[in-house]
């Protein structure tokens, strides 16, 4: 290679650098944090999941050992099945309450701003504060909920006494914390529907139910499927509410993937076993989210005319 | 007309139910935090009659560390929010205004990593933070907070940058600004409402974070949610008065900000679902 080519190549590199330095400099901090805090640890997690690893004690390569012990562990099987049921139950209830409330708000109402603020409030509440509020209401001996139930002539519910009542408490808090986000987004989607469309349907004699079925629902479906997906992903990783409300108990009867992972890793110091749960959660999440990941990626650069 | 009235009555009844469902649990908790100790366990449950600050004084007796924890929460939340928003503004500018093939790589990275469950990093990073001697400092909380907020904040902000005509920036560039200078002087001020709402979402997520402080702190750098959770988990019986007072203090800042910024918040969140 002639030395002229070399300097020419260097010149190209230098001019490429000059052209791209600003972009690189501006995205570098974010990408650096993502790499150090998420991407490298996620790869390391994959490696740890093939080892019997306890920090400070040692590490042995065990191949798929952690995954096979997971599959054989009845505690993990139960947590996995419970997590599936939890995702279906919680997300359905969240969607029903969220959509119902969005439809209520989409009416001519006095003081609508005030009602909107009230209905957004749970979004601001931390999981732990939600758990404090609801645990006080649900307390089996002095709680307001049981008082109201007995006033209706029904037997009091022994909240947190067994697996079913504990899980019910968790589901109530999860639905209460999650419906706001859905209601807000669907309310915005409903308001974006041109009012002529609804008017036209009404003039043609459509009942409110038909207006919903044939006009509103199809038009909010894209937003609905996205929020549903976000809530599903969130329900797969649920940790805080269960950890602070039941601690995964009684026994391990309300544990989901995350609580099982936490107990194995930070209770028993089985980091390898915990890592295999983490890796399973990651794969499940990415598979479930792949439609949104792909759609967002395609849209991001399809707007060649952005800002023009 | 009576059919119309009946319809309105049903509507208002359902709305009342929805509003009660949404705010009664926190309203009752806030009210109960002012109950004198005897009333907290009263059955039938009592509503506040003679409010007192006893429960708030009890915090200093039972959980004196709580005030320091709140300061830690404030520190971690403000640093994380400022850094995340600054990084997101820079990245959003690049993704919206710069056209280069290689940018697909960082963009796809952000879109993918945004979905990762935060719990997966605690196992690999715990030993690393331990070796670095930064466990029980705010550093892991800030880094974790940024890592799990910056992608969503960037992608969301980019959709708002896209809506600002680039011609405005070009006009400033003719007057001698660099492109970045024009972006900061012309576009960033236009984005203020969206940026404020995105900052609020980041701040709420960080303020409410439970997992990272649970794992990465033990005393000095602990934030409020972990202390409240420990107080709620007391096997010798929960001191409900102090627990609710702490929860009330922790709840008030995000609740106030959401009430003040609700319009921008609704706008930004729905943009995330519709455009993102």
**Of all residues in chain B, what percent carry a pLDDT higher than 70?**
99
Residue B28 to residue A136, Cβ atoms within 8 A: yes
pLDDT class for A2, splitting at 50, 70, 90? very low
Give the mean pLDDT of A221-242.
95
Reported ipTM: the value is 0.95
Q: Do B119 and A278 touch (CB under 8 A)?
A: yes
Per-residue pLDDT, A272? 96
Q: Which of A29-38, A194-203, B32-41, B65-74 has the lowest mean pLDDT?
A: A194-203
Neighboring chain B residues of A291 at a CB cutoff of 8 Å: none
pLDDT at B275 over 80: no
In tens, the pLDDT along B216-264 reads: 999 999 999 999 999 999 877 899 999 999 999 999 999 999 999 999 9
Q: Are A83 and A256 in contact (CB under 8 A)?
A: yes
Closest CA to B118 of B54, B208, B28: B208
Q: What per-residue confidence (pLDDT) applies to A108? A: 83
| Model pLDDT, residue A5 | 53
pLDDT band (50, 70, 90) for residue A259: very high
What spatial distance separates the first Cα and last Cα of chain A, rounded to whole Å? Answer: 45
For chain A, percent of residues with pLDDT exceeding 90: 75
Residue B102 DSSP symbol? G
Per CB-CB distance under 8 Å, the chain B contacts of A258 are 117, 119
| Contacts with B244 from chain A: Cβ below 8 Å | 132, 136
Scanning every residue of chain A, which has its alpha carbon at the shortest distance from the alpha carbon of B267? A188
Identify all chain A residues contacting B118, using CB atoms and an 8 Å cutoff. 237
pLDDT of residue A3: 47
The pLDDT of A92-116, averaged and rounded, is: 92
Could you tell me if A258 and A274 are in contact, meaning their C-beta atoms sit under 8 angstroms apart?
no
Q: What is the pLDDT of residue B144?
A: 98
Minimum Cα–Cα distance from A127: chain B residue: B208
Using CB atoms, pick whichever of A20, A119, A126 lies closest to residue B18.
Answer: A119
Residue that has been written with the tokens 């797969």 in this structure: A236
Buried residues in A177-216 as b, exposed as e (16+ CB within 10 A): bbbbbbbbbbbbbbeeeeeeebeebeeeebeeeebbeebb
3-class DSSP string for chain A: CCHHHHHHHHHHHHHHHHHHHHHHHHHHHHHHHHHHHHHHHHHHHHHHCCEEEECCCEEEECCCHHHHHHHHCHHHHHHHHHHHHHHHHHHHHHHHHHHHHHHHHCCCCCCHHHHHHHHHHHHHCCHHHHHHHHHHHHCCCCCHHHHHHHHCCCCCCCCCCCHHHHHHHHHHHHHHHHHHHHHHHHHHHHHCCCHHHHHHHHHCCCCHHHHHHHHHHHHHHHHHHHHHHHHHHHHHCCCHHHHHHCCCCCCCCCCCHHHHHHHHHHHCCCHHHHHHHHHHHHHHHHHHHHHHHHHHHHHHHHCCCCCC
Are B180 and A22 in contact (CB < 8 Å)?
yes
Residue with the two structure tokens 């190209």: A12
Q: Does A275 touch chain B (CB under 8 A)?
A: yes
Between A and B, how many residue pairs show a Cβ–Cβ distance under 8 A?
309
Confidence check: pLDDT of A265 > 70: yes
Q: Which of A288-292, A295-299, B98-102, B170-174 has the highest mean pLDDT?
A: A288-292
* Residue B53 confidence (pLDDT): 95
CB contact under 8 A, B103 and A244: no
- Within an 8 Å CB–CB cutoff, is residue A180 touching chain B? yes
**pLDDT value, residue A249:** 84
* Residues on chain B touching A160 (C-beta within 8 angstroms): none
pTM of the predicted protein model: 0.93
Distance CA A55, CA A68 (A): 22
Quick check: A121 and B255 CB within 8 A? Answer: yes
Give chain A's largest Cα–Cα span.
96
pLDDT digits (tens, 9 = 90+) for A46-103: 999 999 999 888 888 999 999 999 999 999 999 999 999 999 999 999 999 999 999 9
Q: Which of residues 253-272 of A touch B (CB under 8 A)?
A: 258, 261-262, 265-266, 271
Nearest to B96 by CA among B202, B179, B173: B179
Angle at A232 between CA A228 and CA A233, to 5 degrees: 120
**Residues of A (109-148) whose Cβ lies below 8 Å from B:** 109, 113, 115-137, 141-144, 147
Are B234 and B250 a contacting pair, CB within 8 Å?
A: no
Judged against a pLDDT cut of 90, whether residue B26 lies above it is answered with yes
List of chain A residues whose C-beta atoms are within 8 Å of the C-beta of residue B233: 244, 247
Going by pLDDT thresholds of 50, 70 and 90, the confidence category of residue A1 is: very low
Whole-number mean pLDDT of chain A? 91
% of residues, chain B, pLDDT over 90:
78
Least confidently predicted of B1-5, B16-20, B142-146, B169-173 = B1-5
Q: Are B264 and B193 in contact (CB under 8 A)?
A: yes
pLDDT at residue B271, rounded to an integer: 81
pLDDT of residue A57: 85
Instruction: Write down the pLDDT at residue B188.
Output: 94
What is the pLDDT averaged over residues A163-191? 94
């Amino acid at each position: 290679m002639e030395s002229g080519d070399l300097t020419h190549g260097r010149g190209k590199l230098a001019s490429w650098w000059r052209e791209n330095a600003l972009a690189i400099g501006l995205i570098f901090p974010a990408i650096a944090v993502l790499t150090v805090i998420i991407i490298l640890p996620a790869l390391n997690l994959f490696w740890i999941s093939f080892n019997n690893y306890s920090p400070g004690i040692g590490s042995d390569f065990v191949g798929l050992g952690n995954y096979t012990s997971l599959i054989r562990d009845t505690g993990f099987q139960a947590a996995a099945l419970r997590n599936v049921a939890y995702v279906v139950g919680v997300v359905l209830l969240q969607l029903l309450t969220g959509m119902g409330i969005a439809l209520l708000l989409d009416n001519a109402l006095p003081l609508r701003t005030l009602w909107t603020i009230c209905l957004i409030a749970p979004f601001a509440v931390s999981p732990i504060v939600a758990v404090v509020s609801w645990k006080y209401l649900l307390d089996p001996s002095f709680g307001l909920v049981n008082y109201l139930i007995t006033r209706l002539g029904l037997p009091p519910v022994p909240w947190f006494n067994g697996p079913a009542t504990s899980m019910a408490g968790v589901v109530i808090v999860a639905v209460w914390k999650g419906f706001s986000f859905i209601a807000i987004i669907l309310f915005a989607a409903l308001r974006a529907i041109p009012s002529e469309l609804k008017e036209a349907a009404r003039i043609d004699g459509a009942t409110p139910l038909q207006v919903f079925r044939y006009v509103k629902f199809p038009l909010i479906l894209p937003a609905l499927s996205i929020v549903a997906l976000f809530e599903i992903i969130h329900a797969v990783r649920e940790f805080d509410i269960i950890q602070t409300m039941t601690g995964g108990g009684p026994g391990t009867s309300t544990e989901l993937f995350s609580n099982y992972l936490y107990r194995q890793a930070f209770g028993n110091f089985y980091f390898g076993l915990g890592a295999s749960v983490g890796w399973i959660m990651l794969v499940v999440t990415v598979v479930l989210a792949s439609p949104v990941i792909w759609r967002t990626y395609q849209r991001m650069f399809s707007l060649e005319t952005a800002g023009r | 007309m009576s059919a119309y009235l009946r319809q309105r009555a049903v509507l208002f009844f359902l709305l009342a139910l929805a509003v009660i469902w949404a705010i009664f649990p926190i309203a009752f908790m806030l009210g109960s935090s002012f109950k004198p100790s005897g009333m907290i366990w009263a059955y039938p449950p009592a509503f506040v009659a003679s409010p007192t600050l006893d429960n708030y004084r009890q915090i200093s007796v039972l959980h004196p560390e709580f005030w320091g924890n709140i300061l830690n929460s404030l520190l971690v939340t403000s640093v994380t929010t400022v850094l995340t928003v600054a990084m997101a503004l820079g990245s959003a500018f690049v993704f919206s205004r710069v056209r280069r093939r290689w940018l697909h790589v960082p963009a796809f990275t952000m879109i993918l990593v945004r979905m990762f469950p935060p719990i997966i990093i605690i196992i690999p990073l715990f030993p690393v933070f331990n070796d670095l001697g930064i466990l029980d400092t705010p550093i892991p909380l800030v880094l974790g907070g940024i890592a799990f907020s910056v992608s969503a904040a960037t992608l969301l902000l980019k959709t708002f940058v896209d809506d600002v005509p680039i011609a405005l920036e070009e006009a400033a560039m003719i007057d001698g600004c660099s492109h970045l200078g024009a972006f900061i002087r012309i576009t960033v001020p236009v984005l203020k409402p969206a940026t404020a709402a995105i900052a609020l979402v980041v701040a709420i997520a960080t303020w409410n974070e439970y997992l990272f402080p649970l794992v990465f702190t033990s005393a000095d750098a602990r934030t409020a949610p972990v202390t409240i959770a420990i107080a709620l988990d007391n096997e010798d019986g929960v001191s409900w008065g102090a627990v609710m007072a702490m929860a009330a203090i922790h709840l008030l800042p995000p609740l106030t900000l959401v009430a003040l910024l609700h319009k921008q918040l609704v706008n930004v969140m729905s943009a995330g679902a519709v455009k993102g």
